[in-house]
């Protein structure tokens, strides 16, 4: 009960701070908003938003877990993801686009990692959605690693057409290297084991999925006969 009360109090305090941060953003008081975000990030992970964005996901999670009960770590992670989106929004509003992109990417990677472990539909209402962060990054291509994480997320949530689109972005970015082609072929083999209703619900009918697999097989053959 003590741990539950502690977690609820932590979430409540951070949500109150988020309300204040959003009011500051609405009033275009960027410096105060940035300071308020950094203050909350310092409380949760001992660093401001931009410094957190420069850590690996493993390093950031280690900070969140330091001296914390297991039940609190997930809540702290959700709060940091939300604060990072706020920091990205502030940076973007001030025209610091590279900084905003770095922060948005970190928030997205953290969110995709936690979404791979449980149902995204069960996340608290205050947590950003994957689609929202993807939209924030839409002005430029995202790294291949991010695309791979996104593809897996789309597949796990039944958005099969989006997964396929992301797969072909990966293939184009890696110039159809054998590992990427096999990664894509494995995707098609997995989804072709699903029933027709599931494929239709994912906007990728069986005929299109089979055509996609055939395209991967053609690319595999073409790559194999390329001169060294």
Tell me the pLDDT band of 70, cut-offs 50, 70 and 90.
confident
- What is the radius of gyration, based on Cα positions, of the chain? 20
Tell me the pLDDT band of 129, cut-offs 50, 70 and 90.
very high
What integer best gives the mean pLDDT of the chain?
A: 91
pLDDT at residue number 46: 92
pLDDT digit string, tens, across residues 145-169: 999 999 999 999 999 999 999 999 9
Assess whether pLDDT exceeds 60 at residue 227.
no
Confirm if 165 and 203 have CB atoms less than 8 A apart.
Answer: no
pLDDT digit string, tens, across residues 188-222: 999 999 999 999 999 999 999 999 999 988 887 77
H-run or E-run covering 77: helix 70-93
pLDDT digit string, tens, across residues 72-125: 888 999 999 999 999 999 999 999 999 999 999 999 999 999 988 877 777 888
Question: Domain limits of the chain?
Answer: 2-121, 144-224
| Tokens describing residue 173 | 């970015």
For CA atoms 80, 81, 84, 89, give the dihedral sign. negative
What number is the average pLDDT over the span 160-187? 92
Ordered alpha helix ranges (H), 117-204: 130-136, 144-156, 160-173, 178-191, 196-201
The CA distances from residue 161 to 157, 181, 193, 200, in Å, are 11, 17, 16, 10
Share of the chain above pLDDT 90, in %: 73
pLDDT at residue number 224: 64
Q: What is the pTM assigned to this prediction?
A: 0.90
pLDDT at residue number 1: 47
What number is the average pLDDT over the span 39-62? 94
| Tokens describing residue 218 | 């053609």
- Three-state SS for 38? helix
* Higher per-residue pLDDT: 118 or 38: 38
**Calpha distance 33→18 (Å, rounded):** 9
What is the CB neighbour count within 10 angstroms for residue 93? 13
């Amino acid at each position: 009960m003590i741990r539950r009360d502690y977690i609820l109090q932590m979430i409540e305090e951070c949500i109150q701070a988020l309300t204040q941060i959003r009011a500051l953003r609405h009033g275009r008081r960027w410096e105060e908003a940035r300071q308020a975000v950094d203050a909350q990030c310092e409380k949760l992970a001992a660093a401001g938003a931009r410094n957190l964005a420069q850590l690996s996901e493993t390093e950031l999670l280690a900070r969140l877990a330091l001296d914390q009960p297991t039940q609190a770590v997930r809540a702290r992670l959700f709060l940091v993801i939300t604060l990072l989106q706020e920091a990205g929004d502030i940076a973007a509003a001030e025209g610091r686009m590279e900084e905003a992109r770095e922060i948005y990417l970190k928030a997205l990677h953290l969110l995709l990692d936690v979404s791979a472990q449980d149902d995204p539909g069960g996340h608290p209402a205050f947590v950003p959605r994957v689609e929202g962060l993807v939209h924030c990054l839409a002005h430029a291509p995202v790294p291949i690693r991010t695309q791979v994480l996104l593809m897996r997320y789309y597949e796990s949530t039944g958005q099969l057409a989006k997964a396929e689109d992301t797969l072909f972005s990966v293939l184009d970015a890696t110039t159809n290297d054998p590992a990427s082609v096999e990664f894509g072929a494995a995707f098609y083999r997995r989804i072709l084991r699903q029933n027709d209703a599931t494929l239709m619900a994912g906007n990728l009918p069986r005929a299109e999925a089979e055509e996609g697999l055939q395209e991967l097989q053609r690319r595999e053959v073409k790559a194999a006969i390329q001169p060294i």
